[in-house]
A and B are shown apart, each in its own frame.
Chain A
Amino acid sequence: EAGVAQSPRYKIIEKRQSVAFWCNPISGHATLYWYQQILGQGPKLLIQFQNNGVVDDSQLPKDRFSAERLKGVDSTLKIQPAKLEDSAVYLCASSNPWRGSSYNEQFFGPGTRLTVL
């Protein structure tokens, strides 16, 4: 079974430029997550989708970050314009919700390392 795919793996941009990251979840996984992992910190949830609807975007800086999940499969995370403090690894994860279960495992992609100069 193929895992969560992300691209690009690395991106270097200058501040005030725009950047987009792509994620392809595991086939059949209805829930998709984007996390931001700043160096030396644990991942922080930015946004959670259930199919193509947003479940939680409370920690997404909406003035510069946006995300979409068209057709409930692939997702794109965009930053416009980027700031120095956006330098981080952006992780995508997916899971397959199961009604009645107290937990469904999240499977993580390899991440995109963003450097903002």
Chain B
Amino acid sequence: GNSVTQMEGPVTLSEEAFLTINCTYTATGYPSLFWYVQYPGEGLQLLLKATKADDKGSNKGFEATYRKETTSFHLEKGSVQVSDSAVYFCALSTFTGGGNKLTFGTGTQLKVEL
């Protein structure tokens, strides 16, 4: 079956530090890959996505590249801000007859301090 493994948190960084959150996946077929973010007290929001191998998703300074050879989709940001503090979920999607089915990782909490 499909599964997503991401690094455990919490990850604590100083403002302007470089961020990497590792994510690897197992899937049949050709999944699409996503990073979702959950800010305190809010619902999940799509941060970025990549739908095929070697695609790079990017948004708000965050980037992730779909690496089929290593089955990875690591999230990176060059300089984090306090406002980036949130829980980040890596996910994959496979298309079924009725729509897309998302499989999530366990989430990584990021804390950014001044």
Could you tell me which A residues sit within 8 Å of B by CB distance? 3-4, 31, 33, 40-45, 48, 50, 55-56, 91, 93, 95, 97, 102-106, 108-111
**What are 30 sample pairs from A and B whose C-beta atoms fall under 8 A apart?**
A3-B43, A31-B98, A31-B99, A41-B106, A41-B107, A42-B91, A42-B105, A42-B106, A43-B102, A43-B104, A48-B98, A48-B99, A50-B98, A55-B96, A55-B98, A56-B98, A91-B44, A95-B99, A95-B100, A97-B98, A102-B32, A103-B32, A103-B51, A103-B93, A105-B46, A106-B46, A106-B102, A108-B43, A108-B44, A109-B43
Flag whether B69 is at the interface (Cβ < 8 A): no
User: Number of B residues whose C-beta is below 8 Å from A?
Assistant: 25
Q: A56-B101, A106-B46 known; 13 other A-B pairs, CB under 8 Å?
A: A41-B106, A42-B105, A45-B101, A48-B98, A50-B98, A50-B99, A55-B99, A56-B98, A93-B44, A95-B100, A102-B32, A103-B95, A110-B41
Contacting pair A55 B97 (CB below 8 A): yes
Provide the bound-state CA to CA distance between A48 and B114, in Å.
42
Rounded to whole Å, the gap between the CB of B56 and the closest CB of chain A is 16
Q: Most chain-B CB neighbours within 10 Å: which of A4, A102, A104?
A: A102
Contact residues in A for B46 (Cβ distance below 8 Å): 105-106
Rounded to whole Å, the gap between the CB of B6 and the closest CB of chain A is 9
Contact residues in A for B51 (Cβ distance below 8 Å): 102-103
Contacting pair A104 B104 (CB below 8 A): no
Contacting pair A111 B32 (CB below 8 A): no
Rounded to whole Å, the gap between the CB of B1 and the closest CB of chain A is 11
Q: Most chain-A CB neighbours within 10 Å: which of B44, B89, B97, B104?
A: B44
Contacting pair A110 B42 (CB below 8 A): yes
